[in-house]
Amino acid sequence: MPEISRFYGMVIAMFYNDDAPPHFHVRYGEQKAVIGIDPIALLEGNLSRRAKALVIDWAKEHQAELMADWELARQQAPLNRIEPLE
């Protein structure tokens, strides 16, 4: 699972063989979630309220980059790193 960003202990990654809708995965300690890209929304899993808010804010900032990485993943191409939340 290629890591595309990391911030505040959260690891953001995408799988090459995942099915639609476009999404990314978040790991934060023992917590795991799948976040949709368009629209940005929690699709499955659980994150603490704070972690979820941070990830959603980050995803809104980088939605176009996330979609570009999703398209690269569909082509089995290397994914681009995305700046972490600051």
Rounded Cα gap, residues 50 and 28, in angstroms: 11
The conformation of residue 21, written as its DSSP 8-state character, comes to: S
Specify the pLDDT at position 1. Answer: 76
Give the SS3 label for residue 82: coil
Specify the pLDDT at position 58. Answer: 98
Specify the pLDDT at position 76. Answer: 94
pLDDT tens for each residue of 58-71: 999 999 999 999 99
Helix (H) or strand (E) holding 31: strand 31-37
Helix axes 63-74, 49-61, angle to 10 degrees: 80
pLDDT tens for each residue of 1-59: 799 999 999 999 999 989 999 999 999 999 999 999 999 999 999 999 999 999 999 99
Sequence ranges of the domains in the chain: 3-74
Specify the pLDDT at position 2. Answer: 93
Specify the pLDDT at position 86. Answer: 84
CB 42 within 8 A of CB 52: yes
CB 52 within 8 A of CB 37: no
